[in-house]
Amino acid sequence: MEGRIQGRSDPDLSPKGYAQSLALFDQLKSRPLSAIYTSTLKRSFLTAHPIASHFGLPIQRLPELDEIAFGILEGEHFFNFNEGMRNEWEEFKKDRYIYHIPQAENYTDVIHRVRPFVERVLLEHKGQEILIVGHRVVNLMLIGILLECPPEGLLKIQQSNDCLYLIQRNAETKVFYYINGEMGEGFLLER
């Protein structure tokens, strides 16, 4: 809301965030969840808390699911960037998979961090339904790994804080989204 680059910053949920966590609970309360994973950041953990309480499941907090680190831009306001910060941000936007903002990760770093987690949970939870509450960039990389999407395609996928993706990996992989209480098949894509 403030126009900050949040990344690894660790604030509590806003009132809107708490409302969204209750909406997530409403959406998932009748699903057969067997495990819940979140990042170590409070906003991810607190989002999962209502549904975890409902099912009596522990929340497994893992650093592999922490949001991308934005290094020198972490916590900064977009509107207050000095020229050097603005240049770093623009270079990063040109190629998020290769360019490194000083002291930060790029998308490739996040993929390498997330991939072992995905491989592990697919083995441990074969045939089970699990919930992963991550963050924007981590979620994109999870989707990319699970669906074997090309990197350029991931950048078009939209995901707001009130969007839930359900990925079914059976004989035929299917993707569904839930937003504003409505369900659709496929991804929300930027136009």
93-150: pLDDT as tens digits? 999 999 999 999 999 999 999 999 999 999 999 989 999 999 999 999 998 898 888 8
User: Please, which residues have CB within 8 angstroms of residue 3's CB and are 6 or more apart in sequence?
Assistant: 77, 78, 79
**Does the pLDDT at position 71 exceed 70?**
yes
| Residue at token pair 């998020």 | 96
Mean pLDDT of 78-95: 95
The separation between CA 112 and the C-alpha centre of its own chain, rounded to angstroms, equals: 15
Residue 187 has pLDDT above 80, yes or no: no
pLDDT on residue 1: 67
- In 63-169 the beta strands, taken as DSSP E runs, fall at 129-133, 163-168
Average pLDDT value for residue range 3-25: 87
Cross-strand bridge partners of residue 182: 179
Q: 83: helix, coil or strand?
A: helix
pLDDT over threshold 80, residue 75: yes
**Domains of the chain, with CATH numbers?**
15-185 (3.40.50.1240)
Provide the whole-model pTM: 0.90
What's the angle, vertex CA 180, arms to CA 54 and CA 137, rounded to 5? 80
Predicted confidence (pLDDT) at residue 191 exceeds the cutoff of 60: no
Confidence at residue 2, expressed as pLDDT on a 0 to 100 scale: 72
Per cent of the chain over pLDDT 90 is 60
Residue carrying structure tokens 């916590």? 75
Q: How far apart are CA 65 and CA 142, in angstroms?
A: 9
Where is average pLDDT lowest: 10-19, 34-43, 78-87, 117-126? Answer: 10-19
* Token representation of residue 137: 């960039």
Q: What is the mean pLDDT of residues 159-181?
A: 78
Confidence of residue 21 (pLDDT cuts 50, 70, 90): very high
